[in-house]
Structure formats: structure tokens, C-alpha cells
Structure 1
Amino acid sequence: MSAIPAHRRGVFTKDLDRLTGVRSGKGNFYPQFRITTQRLERVVQALDAISRALVQTVDGPEKLVRAVAEAARIHLEADWVLLALADGTLPEAHPRHLILDAEGTAYCFEGIASTEDPSGHIPDLVLDRLLDILRGQLAQFRRPAIESHHAHVPIELDGDVVGAFAAWTPGHRTLDGTDGTVMRILSSQTAVALQNSALFQQSQLLLAESERACTEVRVQASELAARNAELLATQRELDAAQRHQLLDCERHRIARELHDGVAQCVLSAGMHIAVCRGEAEDKVDAKEGRALVERLDVAKDLTRSAVEQLRSAIYALNHRGDARRSSLPEMLAQLATVHMPDDLHVTLRVAGAVVELPSGVEHTLLRIAGEALFNTAMHGNASRAIVRLAYKPTSVTLSIADDGIGDPEKLRMMLRLADAPDVDGHHRGLANMLARAREHGGTLDVRRSRMGGVRVLATVPQSSGAVS
């Protein structure tokens, strides 16, 4: 050290003393250095034990408390180690206290009515110290105390003393400042580690509960989806049943009108023809009488054939043959073929993607088609009719065109007068069609068809009733 200037040797000596804990100028430097080295090795081992103890946080508070106490017992070579929290502090932390003996056997009195030693060999001073801490008598623990064979340090959290950490060593193990530092490190980290461990355990429980809740929600969502599918299927069945009922009502209405109106007229005409035939046989000469009788016979046969056809149509209308038809195109196809006269050929054409409409809208379109075809068959003298149903993005269009003798201009005038009182009771069917279309925000128009007859055109907005 002679190479170091005199004014620097004092500074160097103080730094070396601070780092090693010995004075380099004395003759016992090496013995003290060996002692310091051993102390440093002990400190390093203690810090290593502390680090291993504190990483037990994720394994739960029980393992953490046991690891901390075990690290202190090994480092201090202690006969007894006590770690305890005062009642009411850190309520989430468990266990609240732990005692280790020299062999590492653990003692805990949680859940026991008293702190009497069940083994009978824990010293009274350890039990008394435990009772002081549990009862919150922490004034004596606010400052660390390091004695020859006993030490205790407070366990602090956010500046408050929440417990204490104490140890007792045998006669050959004298405690020093380094041991006190190790205990303070352990105690200062224990409270935080206990709190973190408790929070971690709570978070694990919350995570498990949330996972169970998510599983339950998924199960409920699956059940709700199944029930929703069942409800939709039931709704479709109800809609189909309602459409069937509406079609049956329409069929029975037409059958009733045919039976009570048209059939009776045809029967009456036949009866009059029969009467005229009898009178003709009596009043005309043979040659002219035979020709007239023959024409009357033809008329009588035609009326009989008409009555038979009407009865057949009435029977078909009152006895539905296909109960599975439910969509509007299917109902229109059935309506167009089941009761039309043989000399009227009806064709149904559907354009666009078929969309399920509310029952009221489908019933309206079905009634309009039935009324228009009835007029075509009874008044238009048509041989051919085309029913077109077009599904458009914003509307549904229904048209009935024929090649008959109807006059569109006259029918349009009747539509304009539809709101006026009907004096003679005729053409109420046309007014009813207009009223039905308007009920759903639609329109009704009569035009000249390309086939030369009349074209009835009804348009209903799609938004008024498309079923999603």
C-alpha cells in the first residue's frame, strides 16, 4: 500500500472497511476476513432461502408461511420460530400463525378453542408471545429487537404493524445484526406476499367461477337456441295450419256460392227448358217441332252436364285432397285447378325467391286470385288464364290475365266508383279486391292483357309482412 499517496490511503481504508467489515491495517485482518466471508456466505444462503420462500406465493398462503418460517429456522439454527398475524388484520390470509421447532415440525392452533400446546413441549414464552400477537398487543413489536438468543421484528403492511416474526436460538448460536437484517427482510416481504397470495387464490377462485358461469351460459345459450328453433318450427306449423284453414274457408265459400247461386240457376234453367220442350211438342207441327225439341234436348243435356260439373266442383272443394300444401304458390295452384271449368285452362307462374308472408297478406292475395278467376270463369267467357306471382325485393305482385271479353276501361271506372254505394249490388267482388289490397298498403289495377282480355294486377309491399 506504500504506492498509494498518504492522503488517499485513509479514504481507501474506510471504503475497504465498509465493504468487508474489517480494518485492513490490523494484524488480525485475515481472521476477520474469514469471519466476514463466512457471514457473507450465510447471508447469501439466507437470501437464497428467502427468494425460494417468497416464490411460494402462487402455491397458496399455507406453503408460503411454512417456507418463510423454514428459511428463518435454517438460517438462524433456531430452536423455535414464530410467525403470527393479529386478529382482524389481513383477513384473507391463512394460516394466521405458525410455530416451528428445531426439527422443523409445524404447529398451528387455528380451529382449536385455545392455544394450549397439544404436544406439551412448546415453551410458555413462545405461547405467550403468540397470544400477545393474536390479541393485537403489538406495541412491543413496533421496533425490531435483537438479543443474543432471541429476536423479533414487526410484520408491516402500508406502514401498519399487522403481526410479528420471532425466533429463539440455542446457546451456541448468537444472533447479530446480519441475522436481524435477514429477519427484517423476511418480515417485510411476508405481509406483501401473504396479501398477494390471498389475492391470487381469490383470482383463481373467481376465474374458476367465471369459467363455470361461462359454461353455464353456453349451455343455456344452446338450450335457448334449441327452444327458439322449436318455437320457430311451431310458429311455422301454426302459420301452415292457419293457411290451411284460410284455404278451406275459401274453398267452402266458393262451394257455397256455387251451390246456392250458380247451381240453382242452372237447375232452374233446366226446369224451364223441360217445360218449354213439353209445350213445344204440343204446339208446333211435326217437322218444326222435332227440330225445336232436338235443340231443347241439347240445351237440357248441357244444363244437366253443367249441374254435374258444378256438383263435382262442389264436392272437390268440400273434400280437400292434399293437406300438406301450405305455401302461397301451392295454395294458388290448388285454387287455380280445383274448381275451374273444364273449358278454362289456368296456368300458374312464380318468379323470384319465395318469401313467407304473414297469413293476412297471403289470405288477401289468395282471395283476390279466387275472385278474379271466378269472374274470369263466370263473366269473361275466357278459355285461358295465367296467374303470375312475383316476389320482388320490396313488393309482391299478383296478376290474373285472361283472353276473355272483359272491358278493362269499364272495370277501371267501377274501381273509381268503388267507394260509392252500390245500388244494384253487382261488381262488389271488384270493390272487395281493392279494399283487401289497400288494407295492406297495396294497390289494385285493371289493364288490358296481352292475350286480349283483362289483367287484374295487385301489388302489396314486401316490408308490410315478410316473415324473417
Structure 2
Amino acid sequence: MFTRDLDRLTGVRSGKGTFYPQFRATTQRLERVVHALDAISRALVQTVDGPEKLVRAVADAARIHLEADWVLLALADGALPDAHPRHLILDNEGIAYSFEGLAGTKDPSGHTPDLVLDRLLDILRGQLAQFRLPVIENHHAHVPIELDGDVVGAFAAWTAGHRVLDGTDGIVMRILSSQTAVALQNSALFQQSQVLLADSERACAVASRHASDLAARNVELLATQRELDAAQRHQLLDCERHRIARELHDSVAQCVLSAGMQIEVCRSEAEEQLVDKGGRALFERLDVAKELTRSAVEQLRSAIYTLNHRSDAQRSSLPEMLAQLANVHMPDDLRVTLHVTGAAVELRSGVEHALLRIAGEALFNTAMHGSASRAIVRLAYKPTSVSLSIADDGIGDPEKLRMLLRLADGPDVDGHHRGLANMVARAREHGGTLAVRRSRMGGIQLLATVPHPPGVVS
């Protein structure tokens, strides 16, 4: 039983006198095979490091295992076209030779035996018919490199006189050759994938830059389109404003002036015919009518001026327009002061127009109905809103005006209080409010507040 176990484990018979020499030889072969397999595994993991290191590691593993003087690994021309290097020669000291000028190799001419160079040329030319099967001789081994049933190259080695090759060496050579073809192909594919990955990353970076450029240009185009649309709307509005201004000047203003002239004629005649107290009352009523027509003409001129100077290409800011309204278009007996607080932002033209109209209507009421001598206009820019305050020192009653504002919400607003209703409507159109309170100067304070997005220039 013991002898049969030894036979299975070592491959030798214990009954012979040569048992121990055979056992030692078998042990040495096993050790060489283990070392060779370890070298093969370490060689094949070089795939990701590039084909040059892989080929060098495989050839070095064969050289060490066979104790070879010369090792040749080569691929036939046209086989595995993406695999490089195509051939490599190692001498017994591990010095590499190659015609491809690889890093760390020498030119084999003048250093390599003719039989090695002749074998290299045969392999490169595809003359492998005589070596389609492994050849294992005493000091020479030749194993074809096969892939998918085709011979794509060969693996050859020559050993010194003391190293005799056997079947175990042939098995090691076949393992190396069969794995080398697959590893070379995988290495070539890996290198291609790295190149494709780098190309795709560059293409992705270029595409990202193009996308960013397109996005920026799209934003610019949208902004330009908005500007063009706004310019077109402004042009249409300007044309309509000029038309209305002409109509007001040529029709309404002339009619009011004519009415004023007729009132003046009547006043002159009434003054000549004044004989009693009743005539004096008529004379006073004509004076009031004269003042009303004069004020109407001033208001019409102010409206015509505003309509004719409403070009958004070079339009004034809201504070400038309020200053112009306060200093140019008010009666001489009403002194108007303007105060602006906060960081000014450009508001939508509709908001500016509404606030300017509210200020104009409020100052008109102050001049005509409030008997005020002084008014203060305050424009306050806040982070989320803008407020406009008009305060005077007149005789107005805040409670009465608040009642009129409540009536303004009803359906039956008469023409006498249309100005108050218009101010409320202008504020609400832009999401704002209009409040009435007693001013510190004793008269009325109107406060209009309109929201706007924070930090956004409209």
C-alpha cells in the first residue's frame, strides 16, 4: 500500500534501487514547475501595464525556467495587427534585443546567433508549417502561439549543454504560448480602450465647451430678442403717444384756450356792466372759471410734453422725471421739494409711468383743491419695493379722501373723483397699494407702494 501511494504521489516506484535519485529529480522538476507557474502568473498580470512589459515578462519567465541561453517570442506579420511589440529576443543574462527599437533593447545584429535570427525571420514571414506542433528536443524547444485555432506566432528557446529539456518543460512552454496570445490581444484591446477613453474625454470636454458656448449665445440671443421686442413695443408706444399729443394739442387744448378766451371776454363785459351785488357774484364765478381753464391748459401742456418726451432710447430716470414734474409743471404759488432715498434701480417702464402719473395727479389735487403752498415728494427705493409719498400743508381731510377711495372701488364713480380712482387703479395694476394719511405738515399724505423683485433690474 505504501509503495502504491508513493507511486501515485511521485511518479516513481519505491522498489527500485534508483528510488531516491528519481525522487530527487521529480522534486526538482516539481519545484521548477511551481516556480514557472508563479513566473507565468506574474507575467500575465502585466497586461494592464502595456504589451511591451507583458512580452518581456513572458520571455523572462521562460528564460529563468529553462535556464536558456536564448529565448525568442515573435508574431507573424499580419497576425494580431494591434499587438506590439511583434518580437523580442533575450539572452541568458536577460538582455533584450529587438529590431523594433523598443526601450531598453539592443539591435540583435552581431550579437544574436544565426539560428535564432533565422528562426525569427521564418516566424515573421509566416513560415510555420514545420512548427505547427510543439517541438521539444534536448536543448531546443519550439511551441506555436495559437489564437482561435490559428497559429499567429511562435515561442522558441535554446538551452546550454547541462540543461536537458523534457515533457514538463514542454508543458510550461505550451502554457506560456497559449496564454501569451490571449494576453497580447487583451493588452492591445486595453490600450485601444485607453486611447478611446482619452479621445472620448477630449470629445466630451469639447462638447461641454461647445454646449457652454451655445448656452451663452442662447442667453445673448434671448436677451437681444427681448431688447428688440421691447424696442418695437417702445416704438409703437412712442408713435401712439405722439399721435395723442398732437390730438390733444390740436383739439382739446385749442378748445380749452378758446373757452378761456370767451370767459375773459365775458368777464370784461361783466366788469363794465357791474351795477349790483349779483353782478359781483357773477364776476367772481368768472374768475374761478378763468383759473380753472388756465390750470387745465397747464395740465394739457404737461401731458403733451410728457407724451412727446417719452422715448425709451434716451429716457430720463424716475427721479429726473419727478424733479421735472415738480419744478416745471406746477403753479408758481406751490413750492415742491423732491427727496430720493435708497439705491436706485431701473424699474419697468409701466411702473415708472404709473408712479409718475400718481405724483402728477396728487400734486394737481394739492394745487387745485388743497390750497397748499408747499409739497414734499419722497421716492424711496427698498430691497423688494419702491414707495412714493406726496405730502402737503393744505386743508385736505384724510378721512374724507379715504371715504372717496372706498367709493372708488364701487361701480358708480362720478367724474368729479375720477383722479382718485385712477391713482388706486394705477397702483393695483402693478400689485401695489395706495394709502391716505395726515401729513406732518398738516395736510394730506398719499403713499403709493409697488413691489419689485429683489436685485433684479427690470
Give the TM interval when normalised to the shorter protein. Answer: 0.5 to 0.7
Match of residue 300, structure 1, among 281, 290, 294: 290
Query: Residues 340, 232 of structure 1: CA spacing in aligned structure 2 closer, same or farther, 3 A cutoff?
Result: farther
Per the alignment, residue 332 of structure 1 pairs with: 354
Match of residue 380, structure 1, among 398, 412, 415: 415
Q: Provide the C-alpha distance between the structure 1 equivalents of 2:426 and 2:284, rounded to a whole number of angstroms.
A: 43
Secondary structure (helix, strand or coil) at the match of 1:258 reads helix
Q: Provide the C-alpha distance between the structure 1 equivalents of 2:239 and 2:359, rounded to a whole number of angstroms.
A: 17
Match of residue 194, structure 1, among 180, 184, 189: 184
Q: Provide the C-alpha distance between the structure 1 equivalents of 2:30 and 2:45, rounded to a whole number of angstroms.
A: 23
Per-residue CA deviation, residues 282-332 of structure 1 (Å, 9 max, x unaligned), is 7x5744666555544443333223212322332233335426432544443
Tell whether the 8 Å contact from 1:86 to 1:136 is kept in structure 2 after alignment: yes
The alignment's TM-score, normalised by the length of structure 1, stands at: 0.66
Tell whether the 8 Å contact from 1:77 to 1:169 is kept in structure 2 after alignment: yes
Deviation at 1:24, TM superposition (A): 1.7
Q: Provide the C-alpha distance between the structure 2 equivalents of 1:99 and 1:266, rounded to a whole number of angstroms.
A: 115
1:238-317 matches, cutoff 5 A: 238=228, 241=231, 244-245=234-235, 248-249=238-239, 251-278=241-268, 280=270, 284=273, 286-287=275-276, 292-317=282-307
The alignment's TM-score, normalised by the length of structure 2, stands at: 0.67
Deviation at 1:52, TM superposition (A): 1.3
Residue type of the partner of 2:40? I
Query: Residues 210, 63 of structure 1: CA spacing in aligned structure 2 closer, same or farther, 3 A cutoff?
Result: same
Tell whether the 8 Å contact from 1:154 to 1:163 is kept in structure 2 after alignment: yes
Q: Provide the C-alpha distance between the structure 1 equivalents of 2:19 and 2:89, rounded to a whole number of angstroms.
A: 40
1:165-204 matches, cutoff 5 A: 165-204=155-194
Secondary structure (helix, strand or coil) at the match of 1:83 reads strand
Q: Displaced runs of 4+ in structure 1, greater than 6 A?
A: 388-391
Tell whether the 8 Å contact from 1:149 to 1:174 is kept in structure 2 after alignment: yes
1:205-216 matches, cutoff 5 A: 205-216=195-206
Q: Provide the C-alpha distance between the structure 2 equivalents of 1:296 and 1:96, rounded to a whole number of angstroms.
A: 118
Deviation at 1:251, TM superposition (A): 4.2
Tell whether the 8 Å contact from 2:138 to 2:165 is kept in structure 1 after alignment: yes
Deviation at 1:264, TM superposition (A): 0.9
Deviation at 1:220, TM superposition (A): 3.7
Tell whether the 8 Å contact from 2:88 to 2:96 is kept in structure 1 after alignment: yes
Per the alignment, residue 54 of structure 1 pairs with: 44
1:123 aligns with 2:136: no
Query: Residues 335, 303 of structure 1: CA spacing in aligned structure 2 closer, same or farther, 3 A cutoff?
Result: closer
Query: Residues 97, 202 of structure 1: CA spacing in aligned structure 2 closer, same or farther, 3 A cutoff?
Result: same
Match of residue 110, structure 1, among 96, 100, 103: 100
Residue type of the partner of 2:30? L
Secondary structure (helix, strand or coil) at the match of 1:91 reads coil
Q: Provide the C-alpha distance between the structure 2 equivalents of 1:238 and 1:159, rounded to a whole number of angstroms.
A: 72
Q: Provide the C-alpha distance between the structure 2 equivalents of 1:39 and 1:292, rounded to a whole number of angstroms.
A: 143
Per the alignment, residue 134 of structure 1 pairs with: 124
What is the RMSD computed on CA atoms of the aligned residues? 3.7
Query: Residues 153, 332 of structure 1: CA spacing in aligned structure 2 closer, same or farther, 3 A cutoff?
Result: same
- Count how many residue pairs are aligned between Structure 1 and Structure 2: 354
Q: Provide the C-alpha distance between the structure 2 equivalents of 1:150 and 1:314, rounded to a whole number of angstroms.
A: 114
Secondary structure (helix, strand or coil) at the match of 2:416 reads coil
Match of residue 24, structure 2, among 34, 41, 46: 34
Q: Provide the C-alpha distance between the structure 1 equivalents of 2:188 and 2:78, rounded to a whole number of angstroms.
A: 15
Unpaired runs of 5+ residues, structure 2, are: 311-315, 319-345, 370-383, 386-407, 433-458
Moved more, 116-125 or 201-210: 116-125
Per the alignment, residue 373 of structure 2 pairs with: none
Residue type of the partner of 1:55? V
Secondary structure (helix, strand or coil) at the match of 1:173 reads coil
Tell whether the 8 Å contact from 1:145 to 1:152 is kept in structure 2 after alignment: yes
Per the alignment, residue 142 of structure 2 pairs with: 152
Moved more, 52-61 or 119-128: 119-128
Deviation at 1:174, TM superposition (A): 1.3
Query: Residues 238, 336 of structure 1: CA spacing in aligned structure 2 closer, same or farther, 3 A cutoff?
Result: farther
Deviation at 1:240, TM superposition (A): 5.2
Q: Provide the C-alpha distance between the structure 2 equivalents of 1:285 and 1:121, rounded to a whole number of angstroms.
A: 144
Secondary structure (helix, strand or coil) at the match of 1:387 reads helix
Query: Residues 269, 276 of structure 1: CA spacing in aligned structure 2 closer, same or farther, 3 A cutoff?
Result: same
Tell whether the 8 Å contact from 1:142 to 1:154 is kept in structure 2 after alignment: yes
Q: Provide the C-alpha distance between the structure 2 equivalents of 1:163 and 1:314, rounded to a whole number of angstroms.
A: 99
Unpaired runs of 5+ residues, structure 1, are: 346-352, 355-372, 399-468
Q: Provide the C-alpha distance between the structure 1 equivalents of 2:191 and 2:109, rounded to a whole number of angstroms.
A: 32
Tell whether the 8 Å contact from 1:145 to 1:153 is kept in structure 2 after alignment: yes
Tell whether the 8 Å contact from 1:281 to 1:293 is kept in structure 2 after alignment: yes
1:389-404 matches, cutoff 5 A: none
Tell whether the 8 Å contact from 1:93 to 1:194 is kept in structure 2 after alignment: yes
* Percent identity of paired positions between Structure 1 and Structure 2: 76
Q: Provide the C-alpha distance between the structure 2 equivalents of 1:18 and 1:129, rounded to a whole number of angstroms.
A: 40
Tell whether the 8 Å contact from 1:316 to 1:339 is kept in structure 2 after alignment: no
Per-residue CA deviation, residues 220-241 of structure 1 (Å, 9 max, x unaligned), is 4444444444445545555555
Q: Provide the C-alpha distance between the structure 1 equivalents of 2:146 and 2:26, rounded to a whole number of angstroms.
A: 30
Secondary structure (helix, strand or coil) at the match of 1:382 reads helix
